[in-house]
Structure 1
């Protein structure tokens, strides 16, 4: 799930694996004379708590407390502090996919392979499993997912003479001009420097700007596929085809979604659950489609957000923690979370009759499940994030804001500046970055 707002992440020093092992000691998983095992779960996903009653009923020797640790930034900072202090470490914690390497590489997360997690791989879409795998080991289980899709207002498209959602980016460009011709605030999309959208565009085009091998990180924004995607979006900006005044998650964003002047939004599939609350006046008008493609007839997707849960290496209840982790991400607690609105990357859910056949009233009776399921299955593989990405995305926001506020400069130049900042920072943190 992608959270609004700008994170300010001051990465703590990498904690050596031996130091972690020393502070990982704690009570065993056996309740013994001390009563039930008490697990603490840190999460900003309110669907996780839905799985607790069923789990505790099936496991009376384990009690679970779900704690909202704040935003992702707040949680990561608190977790780092707890690990370094050697106390207050939760038994299970939530991570955006890009944050998994930061905690996994220095040994801050438990390798779940020893608990049998590998046997679950076949039930997850490939890209989601890749997100929780570092150097061939699985350090978390996927819990929600954000395949990039296009949410579009069919009525707004019709007003511009568009009868079908754009199947290619060339068609998207042509449609953007038709919608802009309606005048006023009519745009095909808004953008005020959304890093995750730009990366999803690069991802789908075949660019792989980050390559990570242990502590070695290579960063390159000059690959042909990357430059193609960046140049396309630069053209959209240069020709005034995007609303660069309205920021996602703002009141103005809600207003333009409601009145149809913002004709589409390419985001993670998780937007489906919150769009009805943000744009209730547009009920029945919105539809969901796959991202436009770079080649006619192709079906290649990308990712925009999503999260997973892992077990800190310093937890004193790893076996019990894994039992609950598997329960709510894959086992008996999964259905309660799906019913509460979680969009998960489990094939058993994506391919189920309910997902495939249910008509969505808000989306004009469209069966949105098959579109979102297909978008999840076609996410291209091979994508990696640098282990210091939480820090890096904050820096990108600072750099790109000047471009969008002044209209001077280019995305390519911003990415080059960003790369140099990441190289310097990564090397300062003990990585080998070039």
Structure 2
């Protein structure tokens, strides 16, 4: 059978493709009779050396794979997040070797949702995930037509990190109940001291929209529903943008181009930014990396609720791993991924290797996690916070044209944050721009 090479290459660049069904029936240099047991030398593409180290070590961990029918090794190739999907498609078109497993960054995964790419490239993981039901968190962003094609590595649970010493000095209660109340307090703090109790992005479209999405998911809003239809103009979405704009106007929220950039580092070091909602991994990559001398001063808590509804947690970012289908080692790779990602032992090993939070909901309440303390956070029992947040982790959905929507919304959202236009008008402008580019 002949591959539709034009269609696949179009898919690699995000242009509409046709005839991708041919991929599933075509052989590649790694296709053949499945290996049912024996030595399995797996190949893995990922952007993060942390995942490379974890999977390499896991292959030799008797506690994880000792009773497997396969004996594993893992060879890793480092590939930038935007390039992994393009390379997967290009390799398939060229009939060249594909990896057995690939790490798919959450924001890039929507490209797999176009024109059957996920279905034709990746093994359906639903038989592994169905048995876990709601006990397995964060499968929705990697679901296409009801089938799960990748497993999340870290729930990326967003909480409120705050400077306990500054909150005490300024008289800010650590248990403020609502965002509205916290923003009122933040406005007074900003007027008195110039300090901010949160940040928003005013950088590129991706950063702007991701920051908005994090706030949005907590409120119960989203960009798409389960059917892939836009829900951008919902009451929740408008309310969240209005609240963010209010925070910026009073100084409670500090506009910064990049949550990981030099300006943010300076704001942290100078104690101008004394709180921020970010995922669990920001403690390592944002706080510890930029202000190691502030160890012991920071704490974490669940996010204050919105007065009109929503939960106490959100999420931002993530990386999931999928298995390339119809290869000699596909069954071996599925077994390996299941052991690493869908067992308590694998999730404990992941946390020990890189502080990746469990995706199995029940684990948050076990002594293995509840008894952990965090020195940077003043020896806080951090899973008391993460566990409460994970119990209300919001569900959200993606769609194939998310990149177009991000680029359409970025500018209007920034203008709303700056007070140059109203929230509803900004979102409507973004939707209109999106719909002009995306066929119904």
Same fold (TM over 0.5): yes
Name stretches of at least 5 consecutive residues in structure 2 with no aligned partner: 1-11, 203-207
**Residue 146 (structure 1) aligns with:** 156
3-state SS of the aligned residue for 1:349? helix
3-state SS of the aligned residue for 1:93? strand
Q: CA deviation at 1:43?
A: 1.6
**Residue 288 (structure 1) aligns with:** 300
1:23 to 21, 26, 31: 26
2:238 to 223, 227, 247: 227
**Residue 190 (structure 2) aligns with:** 180
Name stretches of at least 5 consecutive residues in structure 1 with no aligned partner: 1-8
Superposed CA RMSD in Å reads 2.9
Q: CA deviation at 1:371?
A: 0.5
Cα gap change, 1:385/1:85 in structure 2, threshold over 3 Å: closer, same or farther?
same
Q: How does 1:79-228 map to 2 (within 5 A)?
A: 79-104=88-113, 106=116, 107=119, 108-114=121-127, 116-121=128-133, 123-125=135-137, 128-184=138-194, 186-193=195-202, 194-213=208-227, 217-228=228-239
Cα gap change, 1:37/1:210 in structure 2, threshold over 3 Å: closer, same or farther?
same
1:338 to 344, 351, 360: 351
- Structure of greater relative contact order (alpha carbons < 8 Å, 6+ residues apart): 1
Q: CA deviation at 1:151?
A: 0.7
Cα gap change, 1:225/1:113 in structure 2, threshold over 3 Å: closer, same or farther?
closer
Whether the 8 Å contact between 2:152 and 2:359 is mirrored in structure 1 is yes
Q: CA deviation at 1:17?
A: 4.2
C-alpha distance in 2, partners of 1:403/1:122? 36
**Residue 333 (structure 2) aligns with:** 321
C-alpha distance in 1, partners of 2:268/2:236? 31
**Residue 55 (structure 1) aligns with:** 59
Cα gap change, 1:78/1:175 in structure 2, threshold over 3 Å: closer, same or farther?
farther
C-alpha distance in 1, partners of 2:89/2:412? 26
C-alpha distance in 2, partners of 1:320/1:65? 14
3-state SS of the aligned residue for 1:284? coil
**Residue 264 (structure 1) aligns with:** 275
3-state SS of the aligned residue for 1:244? strand
**Residue 11 (structure 1) aligns with:** 14
Q: CA deviation at 1:353?
A: 0.8
Query: Could you tell me the TM-score, scaled by structure 2's length?
Result: 0.82
C-alpha distance in 2, partners of 1:324/1:62? 8
C-alpha distance in 2, partners of 1:10/1:401? 27
Q: CA deviation at 1:69?
A: 0.9
- Write out per-residue CA displacement over residues 99-145 of structure 1, whole angstroms, 9 at most, x where no aligned residue: 4454246123221235x4422445423xx133333333222222111
C-alpha distance in 2, partners of 1:36/1:390? 40
3-state SS of the aligned residue for 1:218? coil
Whether the 8 Å contact between 1:260 and 1:282 is mirrored in structure 2 is no
Q: CA deviation at 1:268?
A: 1.5
3-state SS of the aligned residue for 2:375? coil
Q: CA deviation at 1:351?
A: 2.2
C-alpha distance in 1, partners of 2:197/2:239? 20
1:253 and 2:236 matched = no
- Write out per-residue CA displacement over residues 13-51 of structure 1, whole angstroms, 9 at most, x where no aligned residue: 44644221133541333289xx94432211223333323
**Residue 3 (structure 1) aligns with:** none
- Write out per-residue CA displacement over residues 185-240 of structure 1, whole angstroms, 9 at most, x where no aligned residue: x1112222432221222222232441253xxx422332222211111112222334
- The range that moved more, 148-157 or 239-248, is 239-248
